[in-house]
Amino acid sequence: MTQRTLAESLAAYADSDYYPFHMPGHKRRLTETLPDFPEALQRAARLDITEIDGFDNLHDPEGILKDAEEKAAALYGADRCYYSVNGSTAGLLTAISAAVPEGGKLILARNCHKAVYHSIYLRRLMPVYLYPDIVPGTSLAGTLTKEQIEAALIQNPDASAVLLTSPTYDGITADIASIAETVHRFGKTLIVDAAHGAHFGFHPGFPKSPVALGADLTIVSLHKTMPCLTQTALLLQKGSRVSTERLRLFEGIYQTSSPSYLMMAAMDSCMDMVKKHGAGLWDSFFTERERFLERCSSLKRLQVLTDGTKWSRKMTSETGFLMDSGKILSETSKTCLTGKRFYDILLKQYHLQMEMAAGNYVTAIMTCCDTADGWQRLWDALKEIDDFCVAADEPVQENRKLLAYPVLKQQISLTDALDASKAQVPLTEAAGQTAGTFINLYPPGIPIVAPGEQITQEAVDVITRYRQMSLPVQGVDHDAITILKLC
């Protein structure tokens, strides 16, 4: 007899005569008790339980969740998998806390997600930042190279781990195999934030998964690029450089004690789909994508940046980075449009909701769930806007390229800086002060200034320049920034 899946077990429980004297308070019976509750939510509530008899315990899995985690681990080629119902955020907090002792040193890419900075804060870590170069001829931040990491490991023999983002939000992927070999030669742990790469390794058209390339801990958000519910992610472990007990400890600290079985059933069903269909799940994705790219090669002003284009071949040969086929970046630097204006046109005139707008590009996330109609609508819009740009022949937009990130001196620790008393100063008077908060250009989300760092005139100039370009700078409020209060 085949075992029930998690989703089938939930459906069977919903249909059973067990009376729920347990959480959640909706008792799975919203239809009868609260008919005004929206219908879609009523259907979800039927399957919405947390840990009860016959199911399992996320923080000490022994039954159905243990099987589900093992299934996911096997599909990614990992030795162990830890479900996260709090996204890659909890996966990153867990991985870093388990791999680096409190107060320890972490070598990390400066373009890491804020969850990484939050772990530095919570565990009082000493960060060693490595700055990714900007991809030549673009406004895209790259990722780290083996050489950068090797140099940092030589200079910081007391570091416990190296952490980088691959793929980045833009889909740029590092040479994880060489980086893993380097990190392991120094006896350290490699953590890869692959939140945007949950689909990697499942089709030959995508880069390989960091798990297969030697990362010790890889974090993937199923909800970002796979058919799964929001908040679902996996922490995947290869080898035993990091203690499994510590991973379980921190996974339990950073996640709720009432995990949603709805989310976990979605994760299990997502893994079942991959197991059943394998690469075939992406057949129509690659067919549609090829047709789309062929059409895009006729665009005159807009440029599409993704894997399989002339641009990506050049980018890979110059930098060694690969590009994710699931990210479609439409670039506007040869048009009169800024990225934001282009984004607004796509949204308002074409009802196309993009993932994000940057200074001179917009990003679309494409997955195996995209329809032929979706690809067609994106192409139709790009073609019309491109034609408009050619006909209008307006001056090309002002240069919105990324500036070099200033390298700043850490005056006091990030944790001490975030906990200290703060004051506000006008940005124009900030040089020489110690930062009390993050100042980010978002996207790409690389802090120009991190808490505890000494603000230089160069940093003020970079922030001012971005603000003059109307790019989204976080951490500046009414021309003022937060610094540490002098006692």
Ligand X SMILES: Cc1ncc(COP(=O)(O)O)c(C=O)c1O
The residues of the shown chain that bind ligand X, judged by CB under 6 A, are 87-89, 113, 115, 165, 169, 193, 195-196, 221, 233
Are residues 197 and 207 in contact, defined by beta-carbon separation less than 8 angstroms? yes
Shortest distance in whole angstroms from residue 118 CB to ligand X: 11
Shortest distance in whole angstroms from residue 76 CB to ligand X: 16
Helix (H, G, I), strand (E, B) or coil at 186: coil
Q: What is the C-alpha separation between 112 and 143, in angstroms, rounded?
A: 10
Compute φ and ψ for 310, nearest 5 degrees. -55, -40
Q: Residue 371 corresponds to which tokens in the numbers above?
A: 């329809």
Shortest distance in whole angstroms from residue 388 CB to ligand X: 32
Among 457, 201, 172, residue whose Cα is nearest residue 322: 172
Of residues 224 and 289, the one with the C-beta less far from ligand X: 224
Of residues 115 and 174, the one with the C-beta less far from ligand X: 115
Q: What is the C-alpha separation between 66 and 316, in angstroms, rounded?
A: 40
Shortest distance in whole angstroms from residue 226 CB to ligand X: 12
Q: What is the C-alpha separation between 83 and 396, in angstroms, rounded?
A: 47
Compute φ and ψ for 46, nearest 5 degrees. -55, -35
- In Å, how far are 412, 478, 481 from 452, measured between CA atoms? 5, 21, 13
Q: What is the C-alpha separation between 454 and 460, in angstroms, rounded?
A: 11
Of residues 164 and 439, the one with the C-beta less far from ligand X: 164
Of residues 92 and 473, the one with the C-beta less far from ligand X: 92
- Which residue's Cβ has the minimum distance to ligand X? 87
Are residues 7 and 269 in contact, defined by beta-carbon separation less than 8 angstroms? yes
Shortest distance in whole angstroms from residue 95 CB to ligand X: 11
Q: Where are the alpha helices (DSSP H) in 219-338?
A: 222-225, 244-254, 261-277, 283-296, 310-319
Helix (H, G, I), strand (E, B) or coil at 174: coil
Of residues 323 and 385, the one with the C-beta less far from ligand X: 323
Shortest distance in whole angstroms from residue 368 CB to ligand X: 18
Of residues 117 and 311, the one with the C-beta less far from ligand X: 117
Shortest distance in whole angstroms from residue 169 CB to ligand X: 5
Of residues 107 and 115, the one with the C-beta less far from ligand X: 115
